[in-house]
Amino acid sequence: ACTGTRHDDAVLYRELGGQSGITAIVDGFLYELAEDTDVLPLFANTDIDRFREKFIEQLCDVSGGPCEYSGDNMRETHRDMQVTRAQFNSVVEDLIRAMERRDVPVGAQNRLLKRLAAMYGDIVYR
Ligand code: HEM
């Protein structure tokens, strides 16, 4: 679920390049993830097409775009994986590299990362 805040204006969504920009960011992210030996094993049994679709939808939603995240709850999804802080940071790095490759302005990158950081407590195991 979106973490509670409604993002009424779509400025960030536009800065990310709208639907096509977000799709390209997620595809770039998946490319980075495929090389990420810290976290890749956790995705061994994942339906990547579904993950791709839900992640695109979630980024559209949290950036103020015209989508409503319809995937599984973040806490439930990640609970049994015992995700570490280092793994969380690795995934964030993969996303940053994907945004860099798309020339997303640093300010927009940071605004998106801040909204995703709000999910930290639901994703990282303690
Ligand atoms: C900002 C951080 C993160 C966000 C926004 C995020 C978001 C998501 C989303 C949207 C899904 C799809 C849920 C669904 O299928 O309905 C998902 C699934 C998944 N996430 Fe994350 N995630 C994050 C961090 C991580 C980290 C750090 C790991 C592992 C190190 C991880 C591992 C997984 C795996 C393995 C799945 C697939 C679960 C399955 O196969 O059903 N995620 N995540």
Segment 108-122, tens digit of pLDDT? 999 999 999 999 999
Q: Is 7 annotated as a binding residue?
A: no
Question: Could you tell me the residue ranges of all domains in the chain?
Answer: 11-123
pTM for the whole structure: 0.92
| Residues 41, 121: Cα–Cα separation, whole Å | 22
Within 6 Å (CB) of ligand 1, which residues are found?
Answer: 39, 42-43, 45-46, 50-51, 54-55, 58, 71-72, 77-78, 81, 83, 87-88, 91, 116, 119, 123
Topology of domain 11-123, CATH: Globin-like (1.10.490)
In terms of Cα–Cα distance, which of 2, 103, 87 is closest to 42? Answer: 87
Which of the listed residues 40, 47, 51, 112 should we mutate to test ligand 1's pocket, taking the one with most ligand atoms within 8 A of CB? Answer: 51
pLDDT digits (tens, 9 = 90+) for 23-43: 999 999 999 999 999 999 999
pLDDT for position 116: 98
pLDDT for position 110: 98
Rounded percentage of the chain residues whose pLDDT exceeds 90:
92
Q: Tell me the ipTM for this assembly.
A: 0.92
Residue 63, classed as helix, strand or coil, is: coil
Size (the chain), residues: 126
